[in-house]
Amino acid sequence: MDVKLLDLTAQYLPIRNEIRRAIDEVCDSQALILGPYVERFEKKLAEYCQTRAAIGVSSGTDALLCSLMAMEVGPGDEVICPSFTFFATAGCIARLRATPVFVDINPATFNIDPEKIEAKITPRTKALLPVHLFGQCADMTRINQIAAAHNLKVLEDAAQAVGAKHKGHVACSLGFAGCLSFYPTKNLGAFGDAGAICTNDEAFAERCRLLRVHGSGHQYHHQYIGGMFRLAAIQAAVLEVKLKYLNDWHEARRRNAALYDKLLAGSKVITPRIENDNWSIYNQYVVRVPNRDHVRALLADQGIGAAVYYPIPLHRQECFAYLNVPEGALPETERACREVLALPIYPELEEAQVRRVAEVLLEAVK
């Protein structure tokens, strides 16, 4: 039995007619960019994220870039973030000529270790940018305490964590603002690139709305130098349909995760730890295994899809060599890069498939 890492068709087929009707409606209206479909989705997304405002943008990357621009992050500023994350987190900081300052992770959760943040705060620190990796919130209680003590804003990179909760509060409502990605592999995936910024701060929201259209509120009047970060109406229409099913999909992923936890318990496979304060949406189910690359190859031989997020930490990327963060500087980040393996976790997986993945994995680590 082959098991793919992700099967988007399995999600699409049961809602195919509904999605196609929604796309048709946009086509018939020819209101293609921003406009009523985007506004309707933004309203529902803000409700879902328990924030006052949601601003639809062109991708998760652009959500980060637009937010950092709205926070006036610029040359000379430092922004604290993890190195064990997707490139966009630090890439957007660097694109604004600010400096990403990397902090190591808590090895149990893969999220930024709050106890290591304060040592990296300087007079140039402008903001904290924790990532809710793999669908589990970072320790926002501790992070917010540190931010308050140093008068810093917290921007949540919630690209992988739409709907995840910390102490009952939803990702994006935990900090000053949060950024979402609707890249197709996310729990809420568009039919192309899309993203959003969610926040309770109305002034910040308004600034983001302007920045997403070249800083312009009225045609050909530019208050700020912004970008082109608009969300396409077809994406909003698709996302609005999918939002209705999102909680069911989260639950199905959580069921699959619980079964993996049970089947892999007591083996050499280290299963992901979710803190008591957290409710994970399991965008990824990431284990640690010895001889990871060999294990991955054995899984592939048996038709089981698995992936490595992330093989190279950001501080060791060629483009960040100028930051001079040496190998060994973030030991838990570097160890995670050697050991992690993401298993199939998508909602439509059947129990027999989860059992098959676990069986092959247990054999591979023997």
Task: Measure the CA–CA gap between 228 and 213, rounded to whole angstroms.
Answer: 5
Quick one: which segment of 4-12, 80-88, 213-221, 258-266 binds ligand PLP (CB under 6 A)? 80-88
DSSP assignment string, 100-155: EEEEPBPTTTSSB-GGGTGGG--TTEEEE--B-GGG----HHHHHHHHHHTT-EEE
Residue number, 193 or 263, with CB nearest to ligand PLP:
193
CA dist., res. 327 & res. 318, Å (int): 12
C-alpha 193/C-alpha 72 separation (Å) is 25
Identify residue 354 by its one-letter amino acid code.
Answer: V
- Considering only residues 139 through 168, tell me which ones interact with ligand PLP, judged by CB under 6 A: 157, 159-160
Q: Please pick, from the candidates 41, 110, 134, 183, the single residue that binds ligand PLP as defined by CB under 6 A.
A: 183
> Can you tell me which of 67, 181, 280, 333 binds ligand PLP, judged by CB under 6 A?
181
Among 163, 178, 195, 313, binds ligand PLP (CB under 6 A): 195
Region near ligand PLP per CB under 6 A, out of 5-13, 84-92, 100-108, 247-255: 84-92
117 or 361, CB closer to ligand PLP?
117
List Cα–Cα distances, 129 to 68, 133, 358, in angstroms.
Answer: 10, 12, 34
Residue nearer to ligand PLP on the CB measure, 158 or 354: 158
Strand partners, 33: 232
Between 182 and 279, CB nearer to ligand PLP: 182
- Output 85 or 106, the one with its CB closest to ligand PLP: 85
Q: How many residues bind ligand PLP (CB under 6 A)?
A: 15
d(CA 68, CA 295): 39
| Distance from C-alpha of 48 to C-alpha of 97, rounded to nearest angstrom | 34
Helices (H), 35-98: 35-49, 60-70, 88-95
Of 89, 111, 125, 284, the residue at the interface with ligand PLP (CB under 6 A) is: 89
Please identify, using beta-carbon distances, which residue of 62 and 332 lies nearer to ligand PLP: 62
CB 196 within 8 A of CB 34: no
Q: In what order do the strands lie in the sheet with 125-128?
A: 53-57, 195-199, 177-181, 153-157, 125-128, 78-82, 99-103
Q: Which two tokens stand for residue 37?
A: 């479909």
**Cα distance from N-terminal residue to C-terminal residue, the chain:** 21
Shortest CB 112 distance to ligand PLP, Å = 12
Residue 172 CB, shortest distance to ligand PLP, in Å, is: 13
Exactly one of 6, 45, 65, 88 binds ligand PLP (CB under 6 A); that residue is: 88
Tell me how far, at minimum, the Cβ of 62 lies from ligand PLP, in Å. Answer: 7
- As beta bridge partners, residue 179 has 157, 197
Residue nearest to ligand PLP (CB): 60
Smallest distance from the beta carbon of 239 to ligand PLP, in angstroms?
Answer: 12
Nearer Cβ to ligand PLP (48/134):
134
Contacts of ligand PLP in 3-32 (CB under 6 A): none
Window contacting ligand PLP (CB under 6 A); options: 66-74, 81-89, 236-244, 347-355? 81-89
For the bound state, the minimum distance from the C-beta of residue 131 to ligand PLP, rounded and expressed in Å, comes to 5
For strands 153-157 and 177-181, give the pairing. Answer: parallel
| Distance from C-alpha of 360 to C-alpha of 352, rounded to nearest angstrom | 12
Minimum Å gap between C-beta 262 and ligand PLP is 27
Candidate ranges 55-63, 116-124, 148-156, 211-219; the one touching ligand PLP (CB under 6 A):
55-63
Residues engaged in binding ligand PLP (CB under 6 A): 59-61, 85-86, 88-89, 131, 157, 159-160, 181, 183, 193, 195
